[in-house]
Amino acid sequence: MSAHLKHRYTLEEYFDLELSENARYEYWNGEVFCMSGMSEEHDQIEGNIYLALRLALRERGCRVFTANMRIQVPSLPPYRYADASALYGQAVFEEIGGVDTLTNPTFIVEVLSDSTEAYDRGDKFTHYKSIPSFREYLLVAQHRPHITQYVKQDDGSWSYCEVNDLAASVHLPSVDCVMGLNEVYQDVTFPPNPSLNLQLPS
């Protein structure tokens, strides 16, 4: 979730804002967007994904990061925030604006909301692709059980699949583990679907 702060910021002002406030902000061309604050469903799904990844990967030489970890994106500096990220092996950081920033994520997750879905599916994904180590992207809906998975192929193209069955699982090849949709959506209550209440004419 994001809120737009309309003051035009220099990069130095943005770094000062990040260091002085207990919130997450993204910067782009003088504009600053607050990434903190989310719905109950978003928070639950984000926590479920982090927990599932930690349990699956904790003894396999992987690192898993929460939404607070800054990610360096070469084509859209200085950095972005994802809802979760992970990688095999050694994490590499660069200090940018006084804060540690992850440079080599392999796997990135975004939990979709009405205000950010188009950006997460479009421009943000495009800019994430400029990260050399980036191999897999998961887009997770919060109003219904639905996951879109993108995986980078050897030829540089991206394949994708969609999963919308709570009984199904998703294999995550970039970190070589399986995550069930029942884990992702544990304790999440979905809004009623009005179409299910429509009655056929007699």
Number of Cβ within 10 Å of residue 24's Cβ equals 17
**Residue 2: which pLDDT band, with cuts at 50, 70 and 90?**
low
pLDDT tens profile 139-191:
999 999 999 999 999 999 999 999 999 999 999 999 999 999 999 999 999 98
- Predicted local confidence at residue 25, as pLDDT: 92
Structure tokens at 126: 């495009």
Q: What is the 3-state secondary structure (H, E, C) of 170-192?
A: EEECCCCEEEEHHHHCCCCCCCC
- Predicted local confidence at residue 21, as pLDDT: 87
pLDDT tens profile 108-125:
999 998 888 999 999 999
Residue 192 C-beta-side C-alpha neighbours within 13 Å: 5
- Predicted local confidence at residue 196, as pLDDT: 44
pLDDT tens profile 51-94:
999 999 988 889 999 999 999 999 999 999 999 999 999 999 99
Structure tokens at 117: 């879905």
Q: Does domain 39-188 have CATH number 3.90.1570.10?
A: yes
pLDDT tens profile 128-140:
999 999 999 999 9
**Residue 38: which pLDDT band, with cuts at 50, 70 and 90?**
confident
- Predicted local confidence at residue 22, as pLDDT: 83
| Residue that the structure tokens 């400029």 belong to | 130
For the cut 50, the answer to whether the pLDDT of residue 202 exceeds it is no
According to DSSP, residue 145 is labeled S
**Residue 29: which pLDDT band, with cuts at 50, 70 and 90?**
confident
Q: How far is CA 189 from the centre of its chain?
A: 21
Structure tokens at 39: 């719905």
Q: Report CA-CA distances (Å) from 47 to 25, 90, 140, 159.
A: 20, 23, 13, 26
1/101: higher pLDDT: 101
Phi/psi class of residue 99: alpha, beta or left (left: φ > 0; alpha: ψ in -120 to 50)?
A: beta
- Predicted local confidence at residue 169, as pLDDT: 97
Q: Please report, as a single letter, which amino acid is at residue 146.
A: H
According to DSSP, residue 13 is labeled H
pTM greater than 0.85: yes
Residues 93/123/50/46 CA torsion (nearest 10 deg): 140
Q: Report CA-CA distances (Å) from 39 to 49, 89, 182, 189, 201.
A: 16, 33, 19, 12, 37
